[in-house]
C-alpha cells in the first residue's frame, strides 16, 4: 500500500510545517498561506511571527493592494543561517560554508589522510569550520547543520561508517556524537558517492526523477535517485557496483577477495596497471589522464575499454532502474570523451530500445563540486525540515 505517498499526511501543524511552503522562495501573504494550508489566520500570524523571530522568514516587497492596507508578503531568508558541507576523500577534502539555498560563501580544500582516523580528521574539520565562519564574520550560532560525505559505506540513520575498507579506525565511529560535542548542531553523514549524486542532481537535474551518478576514480560506485529520492538500500550500500563481475574479468584478482570485479578492470589504478604491463609509465590515475591528453593510443584504448566494462554493468542498471540521466564523474571522468564513449557504445547496444530511447549518458557538470553541493543539500534539508525548525525554536 506504500507505492505512492499518501497525499498530504496530517500532523500537528507547527511553524516548521508552514515553513515548508516558503522553501520554494516565492513570497506569500498571510492570506495566501491561510488559503494554501487551511489553517486559521490567527494561527498563520503566530507561526509567521515565530519564523521571523528565528530570522528564517523576512517581509518582502508589498503585494498589489486589493484596497485598504496592502498585505505584507513573507519569504525565505536564505542568509538566515549557514551550513558546513564537507566532502572527505581518501586523500583530499573540501569544506564549504553555504547559505540555505546551497550557495557557497567560503571554501577550503587540502590534502588529508583519511587513514589518520576519525579524531584527527574531525578535529581538523571542526577547526577549519571555525576559521571559515570567522572569515565570513560569522559565529558558531550561525551554523545550523553539518553535512559530511565520506569515502565508504555509512549507516545513514546513525551517521556511523559501516566496515569502510579504506577508512581504518572509522568503523562504527559515532561521527555526529563526537562532532556534536564541539559543534552542537545536527550532523548528517553519507557515502561520498551519494552526496555527489545529490549535488549533481540538485544543481543540474532538479526535475529528473530517475537519476544515476557514477564515480570512477580509485574506486567505482554509484548514487541512485529513484522516484525523486536518494535510495540507500537496506544496509546503506545501494550503488556499490565496484565489485560486480565483468565479462572479460576472468581471473583478474580484486582486493575484495573475488576476481573479475569492475573495479579491478576499470578504476584509475586498474587502467594504470594495465598500461604498465604494456611498458608505459603510469603510476596512477593522474598519469593515465596525462597520457590520454597527450594522445597516447594505448592509453586511449585502455580508457575506452574501461568505459565498455563500466557500460556492461550500467546496461544492467539501465534495464533494472530505467533512469533518464546517468552522469559520470570522479577523477577518471577527466580523461574526457573516451570513457563515456565506451559506456555509450555498450549501453546503447545492450539495453532495450525503450530503456535507451530518452536516456542521456553524460559527464558530471558539477565535477569536483558535486560532493560539497550534495553535503550542503543534505544539511539544509535537515535543518529546514519541520523537526529541524522545531529544534531551532526550542533553543
Minimum CB distance to a copy of itself smaller for 160 or for 282? 160
Closest CA to 61 of 110, 27, 10: 27
DSSP calls for 284-299? SHHHHHHHHHTT-HHH
Q: Least distance to a copy of itself from the beta carbon of 339, Å?
A: 20
Tell me the C-alpha to C-alpha distance, in Å, between residue 63 and each of 27, 30, 69, 71.
Answer: 9, 11, 10, 6
What residues from 233 to 262 belong to the interface with a copy of itself (CB under 8 A)?
Answer: 233-241, 243-245, 247, 256, 258
Helix or strand holding residue 231 (H, E): strand 229-231
> In whole angstroms, what is the distance from residue 159 CA to residue 191 CA?
10
Minimum CB distance to a copy of itself smaller for 181 or for 229? 229
Cell 593510443 -> residue:
297
| Sign of the dihedral through C-alpha 134, 138, 142, 146 | negative
Strands 154-155 and 160-161: antiparallel
**Near a copy of itself by CB under 8 A: residue from 93, 355, 370, 375:** 355
153 scored as a contact of a copy of itself (CB under 8 A):
yes
Minimum CB distance to a copy of itself smaller for 6 or for 111? 6
> In whole angstroms, what is the distance from residue 122 CA to residue 134 CA?
18
Query: Cβ-count burial of 224 within 10 angstroms (0-12 exposed, 13-18 middle, 19+ buried)?
Result: buried
Q: Least distance to a copy of itself from the beta carbon of 70, Å?
A: 25
Minimum CB distance to a copy of itself smaller for 96 or for 122? 96
Binding mask 61-100 for a copy of itself (x = CB under 8 A): ----------------------------------------
Binding mask 329-348 for a copy of itself (x = CB under 8 A): --------------------
Stretch that binds a copy of itself, among 56-64, 84-92, 106-114, 373-381 (CB under 8 A): 373-381
220 scored as a contact of a copy of itself (CB under 8 A):
no
Q: Least distance to a copy of itself from the beta carbon of 135, Å?
A: 26
36 scored as a contact of a copy of itself (CB under 8 A):
yes
Number of residues that bind a copy of itself (CB under 8 A): 84
DSSP calls for 39-80? --HHHHHHHHHHHHHTTSEEEESPPPPSSSSPPPEEEE-TTS
387 scored as a contact of a copy of itself (CB under 8 A):
yes
321 scored as a contact of a copy of itself (CB under 8 A):
yes
Amino acid at each position: 500500500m506504500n507505492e505512492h505517498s499518501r497525499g498530504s499526511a496530517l500532523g500537528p501543524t507547527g511553524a516548521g510545517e508552514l515553513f515548508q511552503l516558503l522553501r520554494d522562495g516565492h513570497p506569500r501573504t498571510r492570506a495566501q498561506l491561510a488559503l494554501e494550508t487551511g489553517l486559521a489566520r490567527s494561527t498563520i500570524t503566530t507561526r509567521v511571527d515565530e519564523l521571523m523571530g528565528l530570522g528564517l522568514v523576512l517581509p518582502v516587497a508589498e503585494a498589489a493592494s486589493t484596497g485598504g492596507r496592502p498585505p505584507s508578503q513573507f519569504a525565505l531568508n536564505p542568509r538566515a543561517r549557514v551550513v558546513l558541507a564537507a566532502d572527505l576523500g581518501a586523500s583530499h577534502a573540501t569544506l564549504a560554508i553555504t547559505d540555505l539555498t546551497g550557495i557557497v560563501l567560503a571554501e577550503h580544500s587540502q590534502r588529508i589522510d583519511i587513514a589518520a582516523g576519525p579524531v584527527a580528521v574531525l578535529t581538523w574539520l571542526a577547526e577549519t569550520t571555525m576559521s571559515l565562519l570567522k572569515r565570513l564574520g560569522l559565529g558558531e550560532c550561525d551554523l545550523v547543520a553539518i553535512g559530511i560525505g565520506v569515502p565508504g559505506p555509512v549507516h545513514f540513520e546513525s551517521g556511523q561508517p559501516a566496515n569502510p575498507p579504506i577508512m581504518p579506525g572509522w568503523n562504527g565511529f559515532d561521527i555526529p556524537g563526537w562532532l556534536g560535542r564541539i559543534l552542537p548542531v545536527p550532523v548528517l553523514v553519507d557515502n561520498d558517492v551519494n552526496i555527489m549524486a545529490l549535488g549533481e542532481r540538485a544543481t543540474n537535474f532538479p526535475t529528473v526523477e530517475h537519476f544515476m551518478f557514477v564515480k570512477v576514480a580509485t574506486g567505482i560506485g554509484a548514487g541512485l535517485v529513484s522516484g525523486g529520492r536518494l535510495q540507500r538500500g537496506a544496509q546503506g550500500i545501494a550503488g556499490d557496483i565496484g565489485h560486480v563481475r565483468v565479462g572479460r574479468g576472468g581471473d583478474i584478482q580484486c582486493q575484495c577477495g573475488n576476481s573479475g570485479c569492475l573495479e579491478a578492470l576499470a578504476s584509475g589504478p586498474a587502467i594504470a596497471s594495465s598500461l604498465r604491463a604494456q611498458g608505459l609509465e603510469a603510476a596512477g590515475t593522474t598519469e593515465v589522464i596525462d597520457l590520454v591528453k597527450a594522445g597516447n593510443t594505448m592509453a586511449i584504448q585502455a580508457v575506452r575499454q574501461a568505459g565498455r566494462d563500466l557500460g556492461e554493468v550500467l546496461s544492467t542498471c539501465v534495464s533494472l532502474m530505467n533512469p533518464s540521466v546517468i552522469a559520470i564523474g570522479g577523477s577518471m571522468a577527466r580523461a574526457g570523451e573516451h570513457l563515456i564513449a565506451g559506456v555509450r557504445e555498450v549501453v546503447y547496444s545492450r539495453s532495450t530500445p525503450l530503456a535507451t530511447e530518452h536516456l542521456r549518458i553524460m559527464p558530471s557538470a558539477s565535477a569536483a563540486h558535486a560532493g560539497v553541493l550534495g553535503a550542503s543539500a543534505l544539511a539544509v534539508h535537515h535543518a529546514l525540515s519541520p523537526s529541524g525548525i522545531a529544534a531551532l525554536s526550542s533553543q
